[in-house]
């Protein structure tokens, strides 16, 4: 088993403060360090630097990045940059397209406002294009592993597009009845435990983690 302290980096979605999901993570993994990163109204480069800094300050920990919606976009990029596992929940893989209607002043659920600019969106696309040219983003790779969760009733994103880009998840789960908010994330607990031990499995043939979402008879 993995003996390093678990670091869970929760990256909030658009117009979210991330407190709901980070709070659930703390309850599911009381011994882990849970970090919450807000993405809305913040320069994309600054968001990525915050993620990289959190891992750098806990370099001896075992990090798993969890990202929902816009946070899924950042989680995918950061996991490749840091070579660590990720859990993507209803990820917005092309936010420069899907957030066009949100350019301008927006509000968090508590009423605080923030501004999304066209420059924010264009920079998100630039970062993806740069990383695709230099390290590759959508190749069939075993490392870092990731889990993909989508809601069957997601009213915001077309997950046919999501899966056309993310074709090789280690865990791929569509959750019936869940919308874009994906408010209850208890279903991802087993996936995090699986990913936490994944590298142990590939380094030690005597240990093999079980994918909790796969039928043993398949």
CA distance 218 to 203: 25
Tell me the per-residue pLDDT of 76-88, one tens digit each, with 9 for 90 and over: 999 998 999 999 9
57/52 Cα distance (integer angstroms) = 9
Residue ranges for the chain with pLDDT beneath 50: 204-210, 216-218
Strand ranges for the chain from DSSP E: 6-11, 33-37, 62-68, 86-89, 104-107, 113-116, 146-151, 171-175
Q: What's the confidence (pLDDT) of residue 208?
A: 46
How confident is the model at residue 198, as a pLDDT? 78
Nearest to 144 by CA among 71, 196, 73, 90: 196
Nearest to 88 by CA among 98, 99, 77: 77
Coil/strand/helix, residue 114: strand
Q: Is the peptide bond before 144 cis (omega within 30 degrees of 0)?
A: yes
| Model pLDDT for residues 106-135, shown as the tens digit of each residue | 999 889 999 999 999 999 999 999 988 877
Other Cβ atoms less than 10 A from the Cβ of 60: the count is: 7
Q: What's residue 205's pLDDT?
A: 47
């Amino acid at each position: 088993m993995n003996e390093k302290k678990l670091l869970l980096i929760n990256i909030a979605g658009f117009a979210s403060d991330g407190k709901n999901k980070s709070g659930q993570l703390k309850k599911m993994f009381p011994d882990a360090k849970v970090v919450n990163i807000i993405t809305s109204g913040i320069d994309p480069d600054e968001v990525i630097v915050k993620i990289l800094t959190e891992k750098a300050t806990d370099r001896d920990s075992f990090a798993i990045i969890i990202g929902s919606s816009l946070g899924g976009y950042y989680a995918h990029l950061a996991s490749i940059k840091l070579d660590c596992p990720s859990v993507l929940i209803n990820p917005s893989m092309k936010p420069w397209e899907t957030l066009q209607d949100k350019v301008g002043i927006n509000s968090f659920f508590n009423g605080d406002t923030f501004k999304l600019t066209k420059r924010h969106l264009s920079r998100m696309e630039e970062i993806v294009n740069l990383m695709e040219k230099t390290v590759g983003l959508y190749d069939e790779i075993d490392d870092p592993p990731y889990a993909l969760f989508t809601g069957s009733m997601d009213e915001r994103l077309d997950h046919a597009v999501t899966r056309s880009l993310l074709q090789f998840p280690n865990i791929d789960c569509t959750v019936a009845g869940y919308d874009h908010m994906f408010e209850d994330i208890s279903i991802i607990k087993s996936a995090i435990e699986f990913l936490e031990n994944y590298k142990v499995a590939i380094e030690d043939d005597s240990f093999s983690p079980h994918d909790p979402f796969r039928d043993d008879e398949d």
